Amino acid sequence: MKQAAVRDAVLAWLSAHERDMLRLLEEVVNIDSQSSDKEGVDKVGAVFRAHLERAGIATEQFPLKNNGDCLLAKVPGSAGPDRPHVLLLGHMDTVFPSGTGAQRPYRAEGGIAYGPGVADMKAGLVMNTFVAQAFAEIGGNKTPIHVFYTGDEEIASPSSLELTLAMARGAATVLNAEPGRPSGNVVVARKGGIFIDFEVEGVAAHAGANHEKGASAIEALARKIIDLHALTNKATGVTTNVGTLRGGVTVNMVAPHATAQLDVRFPIEVDQDQLYRRIQNIIEEQVPARTSGRITKEGRFLPLFETDASRKLLADYTQAAREVGFSVTGEFTGGCADSGFTASVGAPTLCATGPVGGDVHTPKEYCRIDTLVPRAQAAALTILTRDKL
């Protein structure tokens, strides 16, 4: 089949399957899949795996102990398995705790879909799945298409990182289906990030009778929070935020223990190792006396950066978008994603190619239904354009 015929057939197939996309989107949005909920993430993966296998697409599951299993789907290319592949990437985990799906399940009204993770990024996963299915049924793609589903991206991909790097090595194209920006744009550059859990130890004492014998872990934590937040620097683009904290036992006890979680973002120009050392020094500083702090867990995202190859990919995607009726350009965001990892191994990467959405990580999260098919079509046309390389 000539490429023009393949193009027309793929576009028509995707347009004809909008209702099927929305049914699958509703099903997976209503499954709670917070990063820490391995069972929930695996349920989402099982839904996608069953759908893919019914469509005749080969899948492989990668069992992981602490987080949701990863899933890989492959659509062969006519040029053979040795040709560099296209990687369609996305994550199944969300930030929303168990029970959220029952409290505010998927709903669609006025052309907008709502629900936990509807934009970030279950709509993108649905889109990737149907792009793969379109080529599996119609054929015509010279380049093999690999679709990879991870389950821990929201917590910096501690279990899936090495798998993602392996999937990206040798890829000619990576399209990460994070939600399209509210403007409709895609993302060409992102900040890197460090997520840090830390704890502070103090000395317990009666808060009234023996106050002087205690050393408050909560006071120590408060001092550290002030110092950590002071690292935020608009000029350099560094931001720090302690997003959660817990501590103490009861109101009349000097707190012997406290914990917190720190989010750090930085652009590629910043020396992340030097920044990390400053953070570590603040956390481990023994102020007040007889208190101590230590890092208990951490995860890192690498920045996504532009290259000549990624700029060419953006040009190809931009042209594909024009062909299906929308305009798009690339923009920078302070958010982190797995696209930074894929770029780090030299794979030309474009991020936020998923359906357009906004208010992510909030109860107002939404996805524009009218962008589901066009964004799928743009991804498919980009794959066909990259076939010529």
**pLDDT by residue, tens only, the chain of 389 residues:** 788 899 999 999 999 999 999 999 999 999 999 999 999 999 999 999 999 999 999 999 999 999 999 999 999 999 888 899 999 999 999 999 999 999 999 999 999 999 999 999 999 999 999 999 999 999 999 999 999 999 999 999 999 999 999 999 999 999 999 999 999 999 999 999 999 999 999 999 999 999 999 999 999 999 999 999 999 999 999 999 999 999 999 999 999 999 999 999 999 999 999 999 999 999 999 999 999 999 999 999 999 999 999 999 999 999 999 999 999 999 999 999 999 999 999 999 999 999 999 999 999 999 999 999 999 999 999 999 998 87
The rounded Cα 9 to chain-centroid distance in angstroms is: 31
Distance CA 359, CA 66 (A): 28
Distance CA 237, CA 334 (A): 9
| Residue 304: closest CA among 339, 264, 347 | 339
Which residue is listed with tokens 């499954």? 31
Tokens encoding 256: 């012997």
- How many residues does the structure list for the chain? 389
pLDDT at 82: 86
Q: What is the pTM of this model?
A: 0.93
Contact 200, 221 (CB under 8 A): yes
Contact 168, 347 (CB under 8 A): yes
Burial classification of residue 344, based on how many CB atoms lie within 10 Å of its CB (0-12 exposed, 13-18 middle, 19 or more buried): middle
Tokens encoding 159: 């279990």
pLDDT tens sequence across 23-81: 999 999 999 999 999 999 999 999 999 999 999 999 999 999 999 999 999 999 998 88
